[in-house]
Amino acid sequence: NAGVMQNPRHLVRRRGQEARLRCSPMKGHSHVYWYRQLPEEGLKFMVYLQKENIIDESGMPKERFSAEFPKEGPSILRIQQVVRGDSAAYFCASSPARTSYNSPLHFGNGTRLTVT
Amino acid sequence: DQQVKQNSPSLSVQEGRISILNCDYTNSMFDYFLWYKKYPAEGPTFLISISSIKDKNEDGRFTVFLNKSAKHLSLHIVPSQPGDSAVYFCALLETGANNLFFGTGTRLTVIP
């Protein structure tokens, strides 16, 4: 897991507040993925980004969720007006190319979001 | 719609014995099959993978078997060690797709 940095590790928000989750990919990796893990479930794909571009956001909820990966700085996953159902572990992963058999994802340690 | 299933939520094995973790899938379009290992409070770590043109891939104590006709994947760990205790996820990928489909995980406990 060394190399993909996520912060904060834990985030507590009240219902209605905004949550901002940050991810710095491994050095040399320009492909970033966000996954969400609900309790007792596997990881579910949310969004795939390259620098300044959203490539695939088919796993993102249609409302309140957005992601960016600017030219400079970390990738940000933003959740507006959080609800209790948003409580989950959010994992960021990076790779030097689009994920494939030969280019497995490297995951960060995740941000655990708790909505009270 | 659960395309990838790991039907055993947990497994306990004696140290030195073989651990067998299983994964079943429904989508015949998956081409690449990966196993990830996850310790508490950490992200998943890539372990081993196999492509659909093979039926076996071995890396040290870890071997992955693929039975495409049965849509079944398994991970064998032998001999099992206490440090192998973790949650194991299978993850499947279609050619050209952007996302891995993860199973729900199996928690392996290796008893010393």
Name which residue leads in pLDDT, B95 or A30.
A30
d(CA A46, CA A25): 16
Name which residue leads in pLDDT, B14 or A30.
B14
Question: Taking CB atoms and an 8 Å limit, are A55 and B105 in contact across chains?
Answer: no
d(CA B35, CA B21): 10
Q: Which residues in B lie closer than 8 A to residue A42 (C-beta atoms)?
A: 4, 6, 89, 102-105
Q: Which residues in B lie closer than 8 A to residue A109 (C-beta atoms)?
A: 41-43
pLDDT in tens, A48-106: 999 889 999 999 998 999 999 998 899 999 999 999 999 999 999 998 877 776 678 99
Query: What is the reported pLDDT for A98?
Result: 76
> Which residue in the set A42, A43, A98 is minimally distant from B98, CB to CB?
A98
pLDDT in tens, B41-96: 899 999 999 999 999 999 999 999 999 999 999 999 999 999 999 999 999 998 88
pLDDT in tens, B82-112: 999 999 999 999 888 888 899 999 999 999 9
Question: Taking CB atoms and an 8 Å limit, are B104 and A41 in contact across chains?
Answer: yes
CB distance A93 to A45 below 8 Å: no
Range A6-19 average pLDDT: 97
Residue A104's beta-bridge partner residues?
none
> Which residue in the set A4, A45, A109 is minimally distant from B41, CB to CB?
A109
> Which residue in the set B4, B98, B103 is minimally distant from A48, CB to CB?
B98
Q: Is the pLDDT of residue A1 over 60?
A: no
**Residue A15 has which token pair?**
């219902």
Residue A57's contacts (CB-CB under 8 Å, 6 or more residues apart) are A46, A47, A48, A67
* CB proximity B41 to A under 8 Å: yes
Query: What is the reported pLDDT for A114?
Result: 97
* CB proximity B65 to A under 8 Å: no
Q: In chain B, what are the helix, strand and coil shares in percent, each to the nearest 5?
A: 5, 55, 40
d(CA A71, CA A76): 12
> Which residue in the set B6, B42, B93 is minimally distant from A100, CB to CB?
B93
- Residue of A43, A47, A55, A106 to mutate when probing chain B, most B C-beta within 10 A: A43
Range B13-29 average pLDDT: 95
CB distance A100 to A109 below 8 Å: no
Distance (Å) of CA B27 to CA A27, A32, B35, B71, B93: 34, 25, 17, 8, 10
Question: Taking CB atoms and an 8 Å limit, are B43 and A108 in contact across chains?
Answer: yes
Range A11-24 average pLDDT: 98
Question: Taking CB atoms and an 8 Å limit, are B43 and A41 in contact across chains?
Answer: no
d(CA B8, CA B104): 9
